[in-house]
Amino acid sequence: MKKIALLILLFLGIFTFSQSHTLVIVNNTGLDAVGRLVAASRTTPGGPFMFAFPNPPYTSYTVPAGQHADYTNFDKTGDPPVIFPIPGWNVVNNPNPAYNGPQIYNSPAVSSMVTLNEWAGFLFSLVDPITGDSIDDFEIGNPAIAANASFVVNTDQFGANTGIYVQWVYSGSYIYLFIG
């Protein structure tokens, strides 16, 4: 009986402290959203955090004009059903020093972050897909989680040059990033 109780507590603990939100980025503009997608520690300032690799064929993480992207877990961001797969993550301040640096999305290093981190934000520019010119800049996400990685973000923001409204919204087990 004690073993069953211990297993139940362990099981509940894993779900309590694991990544709990699916991130959905919806780009409702005619501009590409190009920047750094960040995941950081939920609780520890200076704790582990990660930046997404560029998603092919782009040279920076990008959600193209008029498109959306969904990610359930960090270690599933490159799986085949993902529309804009993230092939890997740059890991920083992991408690296991061997796990720091560039890591493939489904590596043990990234899997270990699922229990430590949550989506922190997206620091991005809206870029003209034809000219490549940057039109506006945004720092959007969860201020408390981003602060643990020493970033400052807002939950909503109007573009200084475009007036485009961007919002980071929690709804149940989802985080929505609405662009435009």
Domain ranges of the chain: 2-179
pTM, two decimal places: 0.87
Query: Measured on CA atoms in the order 124, 125, 126, 130, is the torsion positive or negative?
Result: negative
Q: What is the pLDDT along the chain (180 residues), one digit of tens a residue?
A: 444 433 333 333 333 345 679 999 999 999 999 999 999 999 999 999 999 999 999 999 999 999 999 999 999 999 998 999 999 999 999 888 999 999 999 999 999 999 889 999 999 999 999 999 999 999 999 999 999 999 999 999 999 999 999 999 999 999 999 999
